[in-house]
Amino acid sequence: MQKTSKALFGLATAFVMSSALPNLAKADELTLCWAAWDPANALVELSKDFTAKTGTQMKFEFVPWTSYADRFLNELNSHGKLCDLIIGDSQWIGGSAENGHYVKLNDFFDKEGIKMDDFVPATVVGYSEWPKNTPNYWALPAMGDVVGWTYRKDWFEKPELQKEFKEKYGHDLAAPKTYDELKQIAEFFQKRQIDGKTVYGASIYTERGSEGITMGVTNVLYDWGFQYENPKKPYDMEGFVNSDDAVKGLEFYKSLYDCCTPPGSSNVYMVESADAFKSGQVAMQMNFAFTWPGLYKDEKVGGERIGFFPNPAEKAHFAQLGGQGISVVSYSDKRDAALQYIKWFAQPDVQAKWWELGGFSCLNSVVNAPDFAKSQPYAQAFLDSMAIVKDFWAEPSYASLLQAMQKRVHNYVVAGNGTAKEALDGLVKDWSDVFKDDGKI
Amino acid sequence: MTISHSSIVEKAVDATARATPVSVARRVRGLSDRAIAWLFIAPAITLLLAINIFPLLWAVYLSFTNYRANRPNAPVQGVGFGNYQRVLNDPDIWQAMQTTAHFVFWTIVLQTVIGFTLAYLIDRKFRGHAFWTTIILIPMMLSPAVVGNFWRFLYEPQIGLFAYAVSLVSGIPTSDIQMLGNVTLAPWAIIIVDTWMWTPYVMLICLAGLRSIPDYIYEAAEVDRASPWRQFWSITVPMALPFIMLAVLFRGIENFKMFDMVTLLTGGGPGSVTEVASITLKRAAFESWATGRASAFAIILFVAVFGLANIYVKALNKVKQR
């Protein structure tokens, strides 16, 4: 009888242990959510070191950019437990902080000695802080990104084209430093025959459905003097969003679209712009810096054939910020393990490897290292671009603000309806309505 | 040894009957036909209530509140008819409704005319008509996502076949044929794709209508020396009309909800010229997260479609009774 009891006890213990084992294994696994793109693949590679060091398995949930916001904002809004860590877009920070989706990281940073001063200041403001310019941190800067330009260095270096360009414009055919120069180059290449093929001036963002044309237009408007609001009075937009300078900036963007883009450029964003460049259609391309490593490696247009330059200047010198911070999802059951991942990711040697693998580190010790500018052909352009970044609204209602801008600027730039002044006046009205709804004005 | 199919079924029924506990059998035997009928349809009704009716009622409730799905912790306040008032006074929404009406009208006109013509031709039963019927039906069988992407490439000014064909006929350079980026042409680009995809559907319904007309009516008309034209207008069209109207009803309701094709082809642009009601609704509900207002808009759309469909069905019934 005793033997039977022991056997039954043993069986019961074995059953309990076997059913508990999967749970234990699950606790040792973290899910990280992000967009499906080249840097995500680099992060998978990098995270193998984290697994080797801690034993925690990393699982990744990557979705295409076209459904990235829909998928993960739905996940956060429904308090889903899919993601323990999320690399969320910079504009989400306000909403995610105010709606309690992200864990506030101040105490954790203090405890672990992670200092925000160690990161590029613009990325801290852009990816981590809410409210902006206050020491309230909801993310660790993870992936620095900015809108810049690539150009066909091999075309620019053709002696006959250099000669013709200099005779026409009186200066060398080189990476432009001003918008006048950029437009001259774009006009110069528009519908030109190179190697028996018709090529075009530049590919710029014009996409209507998500955020494309806004990212492109703001990239130019900032340089003309466009401001989101009165620096002395928040949400006071009259005369700032629709200032005379902003109107001129928008007119310039339309003129660039009309004169110098390839046919069928009415709905272009990151992928389409990169495709236009890769297929040898355009001399210059506006695109986020994350595309640069892939383009540099491209067999047809990469290597010695490609050059990189930051956004040109006009009255001011800015570039549209992209990129994201990494946050711990407050609905995760594995907060501590997720925080350990952030602690590991913030280490200088990990950040250095992150840059090597194709990620864009935001850590000062990496980007300010003496050999950084020469570490990759695009490193200097990235560095110069990150020094001049500015971001779109990060308000909780950023999506409504974005939709209004998409509609107004696309209507003017691509559809050719009305004037630039009318488009920006309309934008002030739309944005004022959103802030009135939010009770902010 | 071969066991017949019926004997297997009989054995299975016997086995089930034997396995049924006596208490359960007694209870079932005691039920009326009505109760058994309810027992059978109860799961379907429960599902219907849970999946269709409850969300509809919930949306009606939300439409009277300021609820935002991305701020579940914020207090929900009633706003009366505020959301409805705002939706009905929003010029963007009226613009989207106008755009939708434009799509619905032209797609129905084109699909009905072409669909009926194709059905009429196929009904002649010429040599190889079955093969051509199958070929014509192919677009309808494709996924809208595939069709959208496929036509986006066809419309591409530099490499697209559509631009090339138009250029060949008109002499206009292909780079000037920008179907999706041109304010005037973009709505037509979508109408063309929808017509290409769904005309076969209308054709099928019309074909069913034409095949339902008894031959003896035509034979009688021929005895009376009615011309083919007279036969077409006095027999074919009136007798196929209920089927044509049915096709119009189905396509009208479907096209009122058009979303995927527009999203893939133009994303609502250029500007807002192809932004149909369903895209505006999706942006309000799942991008701006104005859940209350989006619910009000959805209810207005629902009432509009339901009301129009009801009027139409009454007309359809009158035609059928004639």
Answer yes or no: is pLDDT of A428 > 70: yes
Kindly report the average pLDDT of chain A as a whole number. Answer: 92
Instruction: Using a CB–CB cutoff of 8 Å, tell me whether B266 touches chain A.
Output: yes
Give tens-digit pLDDT for B161-188: 999 999 999 998 888 889 999 999 999 9
Residue A311 DSSP label? P
For β-strands A324-328 and A85-89, DSSP reports them as: antiparallel
Q: What average pLDDT score do residues A413-438 get?
A: 96
Residue owning tokens 């007694």: B26
| Lowest mean per-residue pLDDT among A178-182, A231-235, B67-71, B114-118 | B67-71
Instruction: Using a CB–CB cutoff of 8 Å, tell me whether A266 touches chain B.
Output: yes
**How many angstroms separate the CA atoms of B178 and B186, rounded?**
8
Torsion angle of C-alpha atoms B41, B47, B50, B56, degrees rounded to 10: -90
pLDDT of residue B36: 82
Cβ contacts below 8 Å, chain A against chain B, sum to 91
pLDDT of residue B128: 85
**Which band of pLDDT confidence, cut at 50, 70 and 90, is reported for residue B318?**
confident
Name which of A100, A210, A416 is nearest B73 (Cβ-Cβ): A100
Tell which wins on pLDDT, B11 or A109. A109
pLDDT of residue A21: 38
Question: What residues of B are in contact with residue A281 (Cβ under 8 Å)?
Answer: 158
Distance of CA A192 to the CA centre of its chain: 32
**How many angstroms separate the CA atoms of A379 and A373, rounded?**
5
Percent of chain B with pLDDT over 70: 95
Q: What average pLDDT score do residues A369-373 get?
A: 93
Return the structure tokens found at A285.
């391309």
**How many angstroms separate the CA atoms of A242 and A393, rounded?**
16
pLDDT of residue A23: 38
**How many angstroms separate the CA atoms of A70 and A73, rounded?**
6
User: DSSP string covering A15-64, please?
Assistant: HHHHHHHHHHHHHTEEEEEEESSHHHHHHHHHHHHHHHHH--EEEEEEE-
Answer yes or no: is pLDDT of A18 > 90: no
N-terminal to C-terminal alpha carbon distance within chain B: 61
- A238 and A321 Cβ atoms separated by less than 8 Å: no
* Residue A218, phi then psi, degrees to nearest 5: -65, -35
CB contact under 8 A, B158 and A417: no
Answer yes or no: is pLDDT of A7 > 80: no
Q: What average pLDDT score do residues B177-202 get?
A: 95
pLDDT of residue B2: 46
pLDDT of residue B34: 84
Q: What share of chain B is helix, strand, coil (3-state, %, to 5)?
A: 75, 0, 25
Question: What residues of B are in contact with residue A417 (Cβ under 8 Å)?
Answer: 183, 271
- A159 and A152 Cβ atoms separated by less than 8 Å: no
Instruction: Using a CB–CB cutoff of 8 Å, tell me whether B286 touches chain A.
Output: yes
Q: What average pLDDT score do residues A401-405 get?
A: 95
Residues 6+ apart with CB under 8 A from A422: A412
pLDDT of residue A435: 96
**How many angstroms separate the CA atoms of B150 and A149, rounded?**
30
Can the peptide bond before residue B144 be classed as cis, meaning omega within 30 degrees of 0?
A: no
Answer yes or no: is pLDDT of B3 > 90: no
Answer yes or no: is pLDDT of A281 > 90: yes
- A335 and A83 Cβ atoms separated by less than 8 Å: no
What is the number of alpha carbons within 13 Å of residue B234 lying toward its C-beta? Answer: 12
Q: What average pLDDT score do residues A43-63 get?
A: 96
N-terminal to C-terminal alpha carbon distance within chain A: 80
Nearest-neighbour CA in chain B from A89: distance (Å): 14
Q: What angle do CA B236, B239, B243 make, to 5 degrees?
A: 110
Return the structure tokens found at B227.
């011309």
Instruction: Using a CB–CB cutoff of 8 Å, tell me whether A397 touches chain B.
Output: yes
Give tens-digit pLDDT for A189-219: 999 999 999 999 999 999 998 899 999 999 9
Enter the ipTM: 0.80
Nearest-neighbour CA in chain B from A416: distance (Å): 8
**How many angstroms separate the CA atoms of B287 and B271, rounded?**
18
- B80 and B296 Cβ atoms separated by less than 8 Å: no
Residue owning tokens 């001063």: A117
Q: What average pLDDT score do residues B28-37 get?
A: 78
Answer yes or no: is pLDDT of A19 > 60: no
Q: What average pLDDT score do residues A51-80 get?
A: 92
* Other CB atoms within 10 Å distance of the CB of residue A205: 29
Instruction: Give me the residues paired with residue A146 across strands.
Output: A321
pLDDT of residue B69: 87
Strand order, beta sheet including A197-203: A192-194, A197-203, A282-288, A147-152, A306-309
* Other CB atoms within 10 Å distance of the CB of residue B200: 22
Nearest-neighbour CA in chain B from A211: distance (Å): 11
For β-strands A147-152 and A306-309, DSSP reports them as: antiparallel
Nearest-neighbour CA in chain B from A140: distance (Å): 23
Q: How far is CA A91 from CA A405, B256, B288, in A?
A: 14, 33, 13
Strand order, beta sheet including A324-328: A57-63, A29-35, A85-89, A324-328, A140-143
Beta strand segments in A114-248, E: 140-143, 147-152, 192-194, 197-203
**How many angstroms separate the CA atoms of B37 and A366, rounded?**
74
Answer yes or no: is pLDDT of B20 > 80: no
- A290 and A322 Cβ atoms separated by less than 8 Å: yes
| Lowest mean per-residue pLDDT among A112-121, A381-390, B72-81, B103-112 | B72-81
pLDDT of residue B4: 56
- pTM, whole model, 2 decimals? 0.85
pLDDT of residue B5: 58
Answer yes or no: is pLDDT of B1 > 50: no
